[in-house]
Chains A and B, each alone.
Chain A
Amino acid sequence: MGITTQMRKIVQPKKNRLIIVFILICSFSALVFVVSRVNMVNPVGPKTLSDSTDNSGNKIIIDFETRQYLDPATLHTVSTDVSLSGNKSCVLLSKKSYSAAIILDMDKLNTESLADLNLNYWYYPMTKNIDLMMVVSVFDKDFKTQLFWDSHHLTSTQAESDSWSKTGKKFHIPDSLMQKNNKLKIYAINNIDASPIYLDDIELDFSGNINTGGFSRSKNIDFENLQGKGISNLQAYQGTQSSVASGNDSYSYLYSCPMSDFDLNNADQLNYRFYFMNEKELVNFVLVFSIKDNKGNTVHWYGHHINQTNPVKSWTKMQGYMPIPTEACKPGNTMEIYGWNRNDNTVYTDDIYFVLKSNKDIKMGNEVLCDLTKEPNFAPKINQPPYQNIILHKASANHLWLGNQITQIQYCMTARILSNTYDQVVAGNQPAELSCYYIENGSLHAAPIGLGTELSTNSFLIPCDINTDGTDEILAFDNNNKKLICYSMTGNVKSLKAQKNYGIDYSKIGGFEDVRLGCKVLGTDGKQACMIISNSGKAGILYTTSGSTVFEPMAGDFGNITRVFSGDLINDKPGPEIVLLGGAENSCSYSIYHAEGKWPHFKIASLVTGRNGKAGYDGLSNTSEYFIGNFKSGTPANLLMLDRAWRFDLKLIELNKDHYEIIRNVDFSGFTDYNNPKYYPATAIACGNFAGDPHSEVMVFSFSEKYSAISSGSLRKNHSFFTPKVEVYEFK
């Protein structure tokens, strides 16, 4: 409510679009032919230009950033007022003023191609009136005799002032002038007063045809005639359209062009200029130049960051340059140019002009170079909240109430002890009081499967089909008694019994003093082994062969590993991987191992080691719990990370050997008695294929301390709040 904009107003007539008319008049054509006694044959063989010239294209771009090729006596005309690329241009202030003169030694030119000189240049008039003559001349070695003279006459009374335009002409220089020591001199004259004009990026091309539609080493993106997201006709620097990004972390139009469109020889630098306009003062905007290979992988990323307070609703010019690595400068690659708006502003960009150059062409110094690829702050943005929600819906299976006296469980693991086709959860507070939670006929049930009372509560349990009979045994590593006891389950669900298969002193295995971490490991043939890690950092693989338990130690120190889990997480590698996570809390790293070979001869080989676990705002945490499930068809599997450091925080993660990415925040729906599992002070989770369908489900155990149950939060009556329960959820 409040004051409104409903008042009817006179609508100002839309500003008419300016019609730009350029009249090119070539009014002079003169040929001065001086017959010389000098041999008419080219005195030199094919040569390249100097080291600042393109070998194959025979091109030179004069952008006035350096003194190279410029007559020192005319450098006073170099200006920093405006420029097309880089910082500088050349200005012709008044009538009869001359530009900086470009001087080239004839013998350094590829004389085979010299017959035709394509000269293109950009000009920036300050008024609508232009009367400019661009002169191409040839002098003798002492500059005493002018041997050749031709010009391009540029006149207009309706030029578009305060903007860059380009033009050019093809000049023919007689071969007879291609003598050693002759000089080619190019310069411009301003023929009218009170009409300053700037010149920049004068391109001398001795090979190709004149190109008035665009430079083979340059491009101007004016966003005209483009459609799609990020194109705006609300503002434009010139023409009627620009590219716009509005809102925090929004992107403007993605302009894509194959690198093969450009002459890439010797190009190792891209000079650019663009204009931007902001609707609010505080600008936090990055113009991104990204080069991708033919698989879509980013091989080079560069951002020009504007982080400043800027006047609103006016166009501001920005310029700079970026190096292009040699490996990125390939014809099969694609360059993408787009704006990345990083706050709630709206930023328009227009007339992005860039020139591919050799960095030997221009020495600008490094002071303007901002290589954002090395700035973590500007790395492509991933793992940044907020995340899109994905919902775990309560499955059709019923829930089970747990006794109010249960406030947590120490053991909660997915196992296949009833069937080799679907999973169950073995959970409980101590080994002797475990239960098996399973789905049968669509209903969730629980059956006690207490392991032997001989096990201490300081036991580490790993379900694993170590004897390859199709169902899991439970390997219990009793850390008090230094024993490994293998239990098999017998009987049916109504009378499950844990039968002790064997017990061995694990301290005799590889010198293990205890087992604090471990997980099931699958070979490429699906047969299983078990990886264990001790407190002291020893690790190894345990498996049975020919009825004997075999232990193979793994090389390395695993002392900083805090989490181990395995699953088929990586698409391009067959079989499951083992992920080990560790390190300090704020510098967590992960390594990925892979089982090679067939059981029982497989080896654990390293795929990735020490990958940074903190890429982006949110990272992998070495205190979180990790669960792997096939929540969609096929591989790779997805990773769930449960972080309970501050709140119940369940995230769905894609992890591979290159990076990890948090793709969703996970929440629940359909929970029993209005109590979302995330509300509970304690929650345990297990993932598995509990229903026997193609997808994994999530079994959630929710517990509450007694005092927590005294909730005053709801007005609903007759409901139990924070009563311990077990539920099964699934992604739909």
Chain B
Amino acid sequence: MNLNKLLFSLLILVIVAIAACKPSDKKAKLEWEVNDVSWLTNYLPETTENKVLWLDYEGAIHGFTAPSARQTDNGLFNFEFTVKNTSDKAQRYYYKVYYQNETYKNPELGSNSNKIHPYAHENFYGSWEDSLTGFKPIGEIGSGEEKTIHDGFRIVGNPRNEEMYFFEGKNDRWKRNPRVGSYSSLLIVVTDEDLKRIPDYIQFIGKQSSLGFISPYYYFLFGEGKELTNTFVAKYDDIINLKATPDLGKGVFVEEYNFRDNPDFKKYFDCRCGNDAKIFEEATVTQFVHYVDPSSKFNNIPVIVDVVGEGYSKEEYNWNRAFCKKEELIGTTPQTAKYPCRSIVSDSVNKKIIIKNPATTYGEWRKENVGIITRHGFTYGKITVKAKLTELLNEDNVWNGLTNAIWMIYQGGTGQEKGWNLRRPCKKKGYMATYWGGRNDKRVERVGYSEIDFEILKTVPYCPANEFPPVYAEHNANQKRPADWNIDFPEDVKQRDHEIAVCCTNWDMACQSPDKFASGCNEISYQGKTFWWHRWEDVYRAVTEKYFIADDEVFGGDYYYFQIDWQPDKIIWRIGPEKNKLFVVGYVDESISMIPNNQMLLIVTQEFHNTQWWPGSPYLQENIPFPKNDIFGEIFEITIE
């Protein structure tokens, strides 16, 4: 027998020994039974397969509940079960139901160990809405008798009733809304004896152990609770699947704070756009107002043209670039709406949002950003947007200077409260403290800022590194030689002349915890496709991947789909002509970039960037004319699943 065979035999022996020591099934030891368990007895989903419940947006600005008062007869999910005492003595019993979002959760068990996963406490689980209620008594059941329990629960935000989500004495459940996706339930029935062995922080989910919150799913399925000998534990998967789709025809709420410098900001208010109580309750979106960095100023050519509509050739671009005098240029920054409700319409008939970048008139030079932001935050989800945003290139493939963006950003509070929506701690070097603080910003363990982007514009690839930046020939304002000013793009840029870049970005605030954290160009694979991800330097706060596609394909049709699939450990960006024809254009996971875990909102915008943000871009914002006509975009549907 050689050494290998000997080691193999020893391994088999060890496995057999461990198996022999494993306790037998607890249920087999119980001298009582739990039978006839039924969930959601008062709710009939559309189909029995998907068990979908669309979240009710009525009153949801204060937090979603599932079900809402309108969705079941009593505003609860009813359940029932029967306990039969098969022992020879009467016993007292207690029960508790937990629920947990299974689609977007971290595993309860850490990798390669029986220890709890470090992020298991972040999972969205709950129980009775009143977290001071622990196990409910069933009462005493005599020997051979049985008792059927009828009860109900509902899924609410801030299920642990954590203080951090309270503001001015009020439990702001909307700050930790229920996650979308599939839910499981966990039914626990215990006897007197075992109940005493269950720690308070499991009986009462609002309480914490010395290590913080402990997931009851971990406790009962993998932890100490698994050792309770006189306890019934059963997990039921897929009891309900929550989805959300905001009604875009419910009006546009205006945040007064965003227009605080304009006392006349209500000038264009109407019944569908404003800040009255009805719109506050009903509207699912707010007019988004960009933060404009004063340093993003550029000197624009004094030309007003409908680039996409009426045409603007490369020769015209080149001529104006070469022959505009310095004193003719218009110093400006991207601008934001002075008056809300003028550049955004909520269409209640077609349940869509229409946005428009307003036209410029001579002397009123404007490159004005426009967009909407949702009002109901979620953590994780597959966020899909059906939209017809403006075309970016004209028939000569000249860019109109706009960036179509579908992106997500961390949610803020209603007041000065801080700390309720921070990302999980960054254990390695910390996060850059601010979004805007530059490369020498201090680092902090926790930060609120998170952002996940689709930014779609005319720019060039950063990767592979040896192809960046493109080498553009110097132009020379020599009217005697058109070839001096009418300069063609380099061949590699010309090859993508009709294409736009779908830029997929995760703002990880330069947290270096991921194992493969790096800067420069790097590769990552997902489902057999390889993506180049790029970070400018170690202190750069975001990683970006770019996918190039024809402008006509994405923005030439009646609509297109954009999807950010935000999961606890990864983000997948998909686009496609139909919802069932999406394809992956970007992929980032926790091995290369810290995935945000705080609650975020969705934004859809058409915005003008200073192209200094996008080095190597063939067209510079300052050489692109001001828009002559309004530039429209339409958002038809948003789903969060």
Contact = CB atoms under 8 A, between A and B. Distances in A.
A513 interface: no
Contacts of B488: 712-715
A230 to B, nearest CB: 13
B357 interface: no
Interface string B313-332: 11110110001010111110
Nearest to A240: B263
A16 interface: no
Nearest to B330: A386
Contact of A674 (B315, B451, B607): B315
B55 to A, nearest CB: 20
A123 interface: no
A9 interface: yes
B315 A389 contact: no
A714 B313 contact: yes
A526 interface: no
Interface stretch (A110-118, A560-568, A624-632, A641-649): A641-649
B8 interface: no
B633 to A, nearest CB: 15
**Residue among A679, A712, A716 having the largest count of chain B Cβ atoms under 10 Å:** A679
A715 B414 contact: no
Interface in A402-427: none
Interface string A633-670: 00000000000101110000000000000000000000
Interface in B385-423: 396-397, 403, 405, 407, 409, 411-416
A406 to B, nearest CB: 16
Interface string A1-31: 1111111111100000000000000000000
Contacts of A233: 263-264
A674 B313 contact: yes
Contacts of A545: none
Contacts of A680: 482
Interface stretch (A42-50, A296-304, A703-711): A703-711
B535 interface: no
B412 to A, nearest CB: 2
A676 B409 CA distance: 45
A502 interface: no
B328 A386 contact: yes
* Interface residue tally on A, bucketed by range: 35 or more
A35 interface: no
A452 interface: no
Contact of A1 (B304, B330, B405, B497): B405
Given A713-B487, A715-B397, A722-B482, A234 B261 contact: yes
Contacts of B407: 1
A248 interface: yes
B330 A8 contact: no
B315 A675 contact: yes
A2 B413 contact: no
Contacts of B302: 385-387
Given A234-B262, A714-B313, A6 B479 contact: no
Nearest to A708: B482
Interface in A685-709: 704-705, 707-708
B255 interface: yes
Contacts of B330: 386
A704 B413 CA distance: 64
Given A3-B436, A681-B480, A708-B482, A713 B318 contact: yes
A124 B412 CA distance: 46
Nearest to A14: B263
A681 B480 CA distance: 5
Contact of A705 (B451, B480, B603, B607): B480
Interface in B426-470: 435-436, 449, 451, 453, 455
A83 B409 CA distance: 53
B314 A7 contact: no
Contact of A3 (B291, B477, B485, B607): B291
B373 interface: yes
A57 to B, nearest CB: 41
Contacts of A263: none
Contacts of B257: 5, 7-9, 11
B214 interface: no
A429 B479 CA distance: 21
Interface string A342-359: 001000000000000000
B263 A646 contact: no
A72 B538 CA distance: 76
A6 B601 contact: yes
B413 A8 contact: yes
Nearest to A664: B362
B290 interface: yes
B564 interface: no
A180 interface: no
Contact of B315 (A9, A385, A707, A714): A714
Contacts of A722: 482
A525 B603 CA distance: 71
Contacts of A10: 414-416
Interface residues of B, number: 69
A678 interface: yes
Contacts of A704: 482
Interface string B572-610: 000000000000000000000000000001010101010
A664 to B, nearest CB: 10
Contact of A6 (B328, B412, B416): B412
Nearest to B498: A715
A119 to B, nearest CB: 39
Given A1-B407, A8-B413, A713-B487, A679 B482 contact: yes
A388 interface: yes
B396 A8 contact: no
B262 A713 contact: no
Given A9-B415, A715-B494, A1 B453 contact: yes
Given A714-B313, A715-B397, A6 B373 contact: yes
Contacts of B120: none
Given A1-B609, A11-B257, A714 B486 contact: yes
Contacts of B603: 4, 6
**Residue among B286, B416, B486, B609 having the largest count of chain A Cβ atoms under 10 Å:** B486
B42 interface: no
B258 interface: yes
Contact of A2 (B290, B486, B494): B290
A617 B414 CA distance: 51
B362 A388 contact: yes
Contacts of B218: none
Interface in B266-317: 286, 288-291, 293, 302-304, 313-316
B486 A713 contact: yes
Given A10-B416, A233-B263, A714-B313, A3 B449 contact: yes
Given A6-B601, A716-B396, A711 B497 contact: no
Nearest to A669: B310
B263 A248 contact: no
Contact of A389 (B256, B304, B405, B479): B304
Contacts of A7: 257, 411-413
A229 to B, nearest CB: 12
A679 B481 CA distance: 9
B44 interface: no
Contacts of B149: none
Contacts of B13: none
Given A705-B480, A715-B488, A8 B323 contact: no
B471 interface: no
Nearest to B455: A1
A385 B486 CA distance: 24
A617 B327 contact: yes
B168 to A, nearest CB: 10
A135 B327 CA distance: 61
Contacts of A647: 323, 477, 479
Contacts of B481: 681, 707-708
8 contacts: A2-B451, A6-B286, A8-B412, A10-B416, A388-B363, A648-B479, A679-B319, A710-B483
